[in-house]
Amino acid sequence: MKRRSGGAAGKILTLLLLLCGAGTVYLLYNTNLLPVKYLALITAGAVVLILLVGFLTWDFHSRGKFVLGLFLWFAVLMVFAVAVIYVRQTHSTMAEITSAEKEVSAMGVFVKTDNAASSLPETSGVTYGVLRTLDRENTDAALSRIQEQTGTAPETAEYDGLTELVDSVVSDETGAIILNEAYLDVIRELDGYQQLDSMIKEIATENVETEVKRPAQVVQTQGQGTGNSADGASDADASDSDDSGTEEVALAQTAPPVNNKDVIVIYVSGIDNRGGIVAKSRSDVNIVAVANLGTHQMLLINTPRDYFVPLSISNGAPDKLTHAGIYGINCSMDTLSMLYNIPIPYYIKVNFQGFIDIINALGGIDVYSDYTFDSKNELGWHYNEGVNHMDGEAALTFARERFSFADGDRQRGKNQMAVIQGIMAKAGSVEMITNYAQILKSLEGSFETNISYDEIARIMTKQLEEGGEWNLVTYSVNGNGATEKPYSLSTPAYVMVPDQSTVDMAKSLAQQVIDGAVLQQVNEEIVPLLSEEEANAIAAEENGLLTPTPAPSGAPADGTAPAAGTAPADGTAPADGTAPATGTVPAADTTAPAGETAPAADASGTAAVPAA
């Protein structure tokens, strides 16, 4: 009697696994995050596993093979399930962080601390103090909301500056004031207003939304702004809201366009604010990243927060760079574009809480510190010169510190870029895989960009296809401390007046990266990538060592005198008085003056001058 075939169960199991595998591959394909060759390998691997499961489970009566096939079936099914979960979570997170469409200005209604009012209706009938020109569009929007809620048109009194506005409510000249919450930290830094929270209290908030511009294109403009010094702030907000009915809005920048799809320029903004990632606020981290996908070269340019530069909306009036964030991310991008003369179509905004979560999810990072110091900004933190392993809190404190350094904000900028380097180095570690879900979760609500999903997918696919490590160099522009009246303030404050030579150097480095140069950091300088011999020569000069001059081509290796008729290395006539052969050019004199190091000569005998 023939034994019955038991292939039905195997067929069903194989068919189910085939459907699950097809669905998984389809999801991977739709993400656009993997190159075709990787998709092909994954598909081939899935087919082999499915066929193996079919082979092992085809005959139910062969119990050993069937049980083994069943275990393999469960294992492969779990792999497909995990892949689907990760793919969906990746797509969801990327869709969220790349869906930047609006920013919010939180317009607060403030009264004197001892005022009994605790809600907006209780201020009905009082005179509201408002800024005359600064942030006027948001102020008018808030007044309109107040009128809708109270049923009466608010009576207002206008003031030119932030301190005058605060003084008006403290002195009972007005019953309440309307003020953008982003200005609160600005006021707290002014003499006499450090205890602002004990002077006024907030009883209501009106959120005014404006659109974030998408980088459809970068248009050329002839001026630095569209308004004048009297109504520049109004123009700032108008620039954020004009053309809001269009799907994509061009960024107004003065820099020439970059016609190379491999070049990506991104403004990295670090904020610390209670209003969340979409709230307009001052930016404490201002880094321009210039990346060339073709050469794998990335340049990070740090600009101090107090840099005294014209804003894109101030019609040439200088302000602290950090204040640009009050008028929106577009203002910050356009201002830095004006400063460095490069288009900046993209931004990445990170809230400091997300910064902590990302680093913790990576299991901490290794960061190099130029100095040994104890933090004065947040007590209880100690850092050693050299490499320090840091969790999120330690890295954030390190990136915020400036009071422990003679260079203050300049060194803080360098430390911030060192932390970014640490994150990039750790991003390729095993923790990136084992903590992948936690890392994705840390991005939600704390990380935002206007780089489209498709553009991120293009960058990731290109990197996976071509491979290779990235070469990262950093540069900080410099300046001199001074006391000046910024555009956003009515009183003088500390600013950093730019050192134009460092700005010009930043422009040059950015252009070199755009043009395809590969750079390297030699001590404190950034130079084009040199050969090992050239790099050693520069390092020797930095250390005060004399680098031996290589013998010219054809010269005796033992340093003996050249044959008659040839010119010695110093260009003097030969001992026998014969002239050098026709057309022979004497080698450059590489003799160093007293107390100086001679430059190394290159292979042709010409002295190589180290890059400045």
* Residue of 223, 226, 246, 248 whose CA lies nearest to 237: 226
pLDDT tens for 389-398 read 999 999 999 9
Q: How much is the pLDDT for 84?
A: 92
Query: Token pair for residue 354?
Result: 């997300």
Same fold, 218-352+446-528 and 363-434: yes
Three-state DSSP class for 103?
Answer: strand
Average pLDDT over residues 516-525: 81
Mention every residue, 6+ apart, whose C-beta is less than 8 A from residue 225.
Answer: 232, 235, 310, 311, 312, 313, 314, 315, 316
Q: How much is the pLDDT for 114?
A: 92
Q: How much is the pLDDT for 552?
A: 46
Q: How much is the pLDDT for 242?
A: 38
The pLDDT-based confidence of 273 (bands split at 50, 70, 90) is low
Q: How much is the pLDDT for 6?
A: 55
What CATH code would you report for 363-434?
Answer: 3.40.630.190
Rounded distance between C-alpha atoms, residue 43 and residue 24, angstroms: 9
Average pLDDT over residues 492-520: 94
Check whether 517 has a pLDDT greater than 50.
yes
* Helix 352-361, helix 392-400: angle, nearest 10: 140
Please, what sign has the CA dihedral across residues 319, 322, 325, 329?
positive
Among 32-36, 289-293, 322-326, whose mean pLDDT is lowest? 32-36
- Topology of the domain covering 218-352+446-528: Aminopeptidase (3.40.630)
In percent, the amount of the chain with pLDDT more than 90 equals: 40
Q: How much is the pLDDT for 592?
A: 38
pLDDT tens for 113-151 read 999 998 888 888 899 999 998 889 899 999 999 888 888
Domain map (residue ranges) of the chain: 7-97, 102-211, 218-352+446-528, 363-434
Query: Token pair for residue 570?
Result: 């110093």
Rounded distance between C-alpha atoms, residue 319 and residue 312, angstroms: 10
Question: Which residue's entry shows tokens 């009576």?
Answer: 155
* Residue of 350, 325, 124 whose CA lies nearest to 236: 325
Q: How much is the pLDDT for 179?
A: 94
Mention every residue, 6+ apart, whose C-beta is less than 8 A from residue 342.
Answer: 255, 258, 265, 288, 290, 507, 510, 511, 514
pLDDT tens for 544-596 read 654 444 544 444 444 444 444 444 444 444 444 444 444 433 343 433 333 33
604 or 83: which carries more pLDDT confidence? 83
β-bridge mates for residue 112, sequence order: 200
Length of the chain: 612
Rounded distance between C-alpha atoms, residue 583 and residue 605, angstroms: 15
8 A C-beta contact, residue 256 and residue 223: no
235 or 210: which carries more pLDDT confidence? 210
Average pLDDT over residues 439-447: 79
Average pLDDT over residues 225-246: 36
Rounded distance between C-alpha atoms, residue 368 and residue 389, angstroms: 9
Q: How much is the pLDDT for 547?
A: 46
Check whether 229 has a pLDDT greater than 80.
no
Domain 102-211 class, CATH top level: alpha beta
Q: Is the pTM of this model over 0.95?
A: no
* Helix 7-31, helix 63-97: angle, nearest 10: 20
Check whether 433 has a pLDDT greater than 80.
no
In the chain, count of helices (H) and strands (E)?
16, 23
